[in-house]
Amino acid sequence: MTKKTLLLLALATFGCAEKMDSTDVRTSGIRAEFEVISFLGDSNAKTQARAILYGGSDVIRLRGDDYLEVHADGETKRMDRDGGDDYLATFDIQAEDTEFVFSLQRGDDDTDAPDSHVTLPPPFTVLGMENNGVVQEENGQVRVPRGVDVVLTWKEDDTDDDVNYGIGNGSDCLSARTGSAGKNNGSVTIPASIFRAKAGQEDSVCGATLYVELERKGERDAAFKSGTVRAKQRYWINFVSTP
């Protein structure tokens, strides 16, 4: 085999997670990552429950009698793969404190993990957005110049939920970046470093999306080796990024 062939094989497999069947790993060896995201600001948006399982660094594919389901607000749904490695179910639920319970069922050959649970933080609406004192509007578009902080405010009682923010993928001139800002007190200051242009795009004007979210942590079933359970209310804002 030539060096060129070896290089091509390495490039083809680089970054691809290895897969393993669930029948090859005990529940006590699984890391479970569960997440609920409610997308705010769009009347047609759904709440998504997602799950991904790992055995070591390998992604687990459910086989045999093994399956995942999630229960919320009196409704139980089987979770199906979404074309990637995640298992997904959708709900029309956004109410605060709605509990989502994830369950891994394993038939007679291993231990079930029926109780990884979390509740939704409160939904919220961003009411104000200030950039160096003011956010410019032109032809109905919010235009946010780079290089200064942005302050977002919303009307909601203080909660013990974490506040995160970020720039979405898909912008022509801004890099996707994320950050966190402590506990919810109805506002967040997003630093200028988040609004960073891609290399060679420093003078460009482009459309972009910004999100702010409240995140609440839950508890995973004790049968798993490790993992996390999180629920988020995420609010998206469209804007135009300017130099």
- What is the pLDDT of the chain when averaged over all its residues? 88
Task: Check whether 149 has a pLDDT greater than 80.
Answer: yes
Mean pLDDT value of segment 142-170: 88
Q: Are 111 and 168 within one domain?
A: no
Q: Are 53 and 134 within one domain?
A: no
Of 52, 50, 41, give the one whose Cα is nearest residue 94: 41
What is the reported pLDDT for 159?
Answer: 86
Please list, residue by residue across 202-228, b when 16 or more beta carbons sit within 10 angstroms of its beta carbon and e when fewer do: eeeeeebbbbbbbbbebebbebbbebe
Domain assignment of residue 205, yes or no:
yes
Q: Are 96 and 168 within one domain?
A: no
Hey, what are 185's tokens?
């007190």
The residue range of the domain holding 114 is 3-120
**C-alpha pair distances (Å), 73 with each of 67, 96, 122, 157, 236:** 20, 12, 16, 24, 25
Please indicate whether residue 119 or residue 7 has the higher confidence score (pLDDT).
Answer: 119
Hey, what are 43's tokens?
């009347």
Domain boundary among 72, 90, 120: 120
List the CATH number of the domain containing 162: 2.60.40
What is the reported pLDDT for 84?
Answer: 87
Q: Measured between alpha carbons, how far is 159 from 92 in angstroms, rounded to an integer?
A: 23
Q: Are 106 and 204 within one domain?
A: no
> What digits encode the pLDDT tens for the residues 184-217?
999 999 999 999 999 999 999 999 999 999 999 9
pLDDT above 70: percentage of residues in the chain? 86
What is the reported pLDDT for 147?
Answer: 85
Q: Which of 74-78, 109-113, 125-129, 215-219 has the lowest mean pLDDT?
A: 125-129
Q: Are 113 and 132 within one domain?
A: no
What is the reported pLDDT for 225?
Answer: 98
What is the number of domains present in the chain? 2
Q: Which of 35-49, 92-106, 114-128, 176-190 has the lowest mean pLDDT?
A: 35-49
Task: Check whether 132 has a pLDDT greater than 70.
Answer: no
Contacting residues for 92 by C-beta, under 8 A, at least 6 apart = 46, 47
Report CA Rg, the chain. Answer: 21
Q: Could you tell me the pTM of the whole model?
A: 0.86
Confidence of residue 139 (pLDDT cuts 50, 70, 90): low
Q: Are 101 and 205 within one domain?
A: no
What is the reported pLDDT for 17?
Answer: 67
Task: Check whether 99 has a pLDDT greater than 70.
Answer: yes
> What digits encode the pLDDT tens for the residues 13-57?
334 568 999 999 999 999 999 999 999 876 667 899 999 999 999
What is the reported pLDDT for 129?
Answer: 77
